[in-house]
Amino acid sequence: MDKRKRIILHVDMDHFFTAIEERENPRYKGKPIIVGANPRQGRGRGVVSTCNYEARKFGVKSGMPISKAWKLCPHAIYLPVNRGLYMNVSERIMKILRKYADKFERWGLDEAFLDVSFKAKGFDEAKEVAKKIKKEIFEKERLTCSIGIGPNKLVAKIASDHEKPNGLTVVKEGEVRSFLNPLPVRRLPWVGEKTEARLKEMGIETVKDLAEANPIDLKEKFGVLGIQLYLMANGIDRSEVEEKKEIKSMGKDITFEEDTLNPKLIKETLSKLSEEIHKRLVKRNLYFKTITVKVRYDNFETHTHSKTLLSFTNKLQDLKDNVYLLTKKFLEKKRKIRLLGVRVSRFISSEKQKKLI
Ligand code: TTP
Ligand code: MG
């Protein structure tokens, strides 16, 4: 492995969904905003996706039942999740961030890791890079983010959360211990409510307590996670910033038993293809933007037509409507069709890293 000292940035957008809603509707500014399920006057089911900092003052949090949010803050502005819009913004932000990195790793919709070890000669230069990033994102998107800089991904991630919103926290190599020690264990990734409670039973509340615990005891109590906890508490994380291999496109073809021009059969086949692809999209939690239809005529001549939508979607109806529309162009030729194919591409994943334990 590369022995050179690493400099890693972690960028996390501030109250991402609600910040976009605020930007789109300036009249909401300064008011508590909650994006998530419909509250139905307190009878709503479902949860809060996120809320702005005004709403957080009332105790509202991501993941909280929407009925509870209503109790805490009935006068907030409640908005549905406009995922297509957030994904478009996310895509533009990732494009900005990628330029600044030697190695880049997007993490959910509103976070990314940037390895800048070559681009920046030291932590001071990295801090300047972070300032430039904040400036460019604000100028282009009118949104703020918080950035953490550290010698590894773990420290960078914890640092980005340190002075939210609009924060910039630098933790140099020699400062890792003094930075981590006073924090409650809950600030470590992978430490959720349950792990926090179990650690407390062992008298471990701060990261320092955890760093000084006996790793054998931790292993006994938590298995492999125990060792992971011990390493994290000591600021050790060797994982690389790496672009996850993404699925680039997804498609399916069907060859007819007999070459056909039968509109009913063609429509049914397109529906079947769309449904099959939609199933795969839902399974992987992917949203797409581009749709391609392929047609092979009876003489094996093959053509494709594509369309890129204005925003990302994962709706079956959007897929079907566009597939029919694209196929119409082929049918006008009045030539028998041997094969039909549907493909979707330009994906974005809606997955968001969650604390697992
Ligand atoms: P976060 O970065 O966790 O939260 P945030 O950007 O809203 O706020 P912060 O300023 O603290 O970073 O998540 C990013 C987006 O992901 C968030 O705006 C909404 C969405 N999200 C959910 O839909 N459900 C969830 O449980 C969480 C945590 C986030
Ligand atoms: Mg965020």
- Which of 153, 175, 197 is the C-terminal boundary of a domain? 175
Ligand 1 centroid to residue 46 C-alpha, Å: 16
Ligand 1 centroid to residue 353 C-alpha, Å: 9
> How many angstroms separate the Cα of 150 from the Cα of each of 130, 140, 197, 240?
12, 26, 28, 13
Whole-model pTM? 0.77
Q: What is the pLDDT of residues 71-130, one digit of tens each?
A: 999 999 999 999 889 999 999 999 999 999 999 999 988 999 999 999 999 999 999 999
Please report whether residue 96 resides in a domain.
yes
- Indicate which CATH number applies to the domain containing 203: 1.10.150.20
Ligand 1 centroid to residue 51 C-alpha, Å: 8
Same domain, 154 and 27: yes
**Tell me, what's the pLDDT at 334?**
86
Same domain, 79 and 163: yes
Q: What is the pLDDT of residues 213-261, one digit of tens each?
A: 999 999 999 998 899 999 999 999 999 999 877 778 999 989 898 999 9
Atom of ligand 1 nearest to the CA of 53: 10
Same domain, 326 and 264: yes
Beta partners for residue 293, in sequence order: 305, 342
Annotation says 301 is catalytic? no
Helix (H, G, I), strand (E, B) or coil at 349: strand
* Nearest listed ligand to the Cα of residue 90: 1
Which of 11, 16, 89, 355 to probe ligand 1 with, by most ligand atoms within 8 A of CB?
Answer: 16
Please report whether residue 242 resides in a domain.
no
Number of structural domains in the chain: 3
- Which of 139, 154, 175 is the C-terminal boundary of a domain? 175
- Which of 175, 210, 241 is the C-terminal boundary of a domain? 175
Same domain, 60 and 15: yes
Q: Which residue has the higher pLDDT, 178 or 332?
A: 178
Same domain, 268 and 226: no
- The label of the residue with tokens 């179990």 reads 198
- Indicate which CATH number applies to the domain containing 293: 3.30.1490.100
Atom of ligand 1 nearest to the CA of 13: 6
Helix (H, G, I), strand (E, B) or coil at 341: strand
Which domain covers residue 321, as residue numbers? 249-356
Same domain, 2 and 106: yes
> What secondary structure, in 3-state letters, does 137-180 show?
HHHHHCCCEEEEEECCHHHHHHHHCCCCCCCEEECCHHHHHHHH
Give yes or no for residue 284 having a pLDDT over 50. Answer: yes
* Nearest listed ligand to the Cα of residue 14: 1
Please report whether residue 112 resides in a domain.
yes
Give yes or no for residue 1 having a pLDDT over 60. Answer: no
Nearest CA-CA partner of 20 in 60, 76, 94, 79 = 79
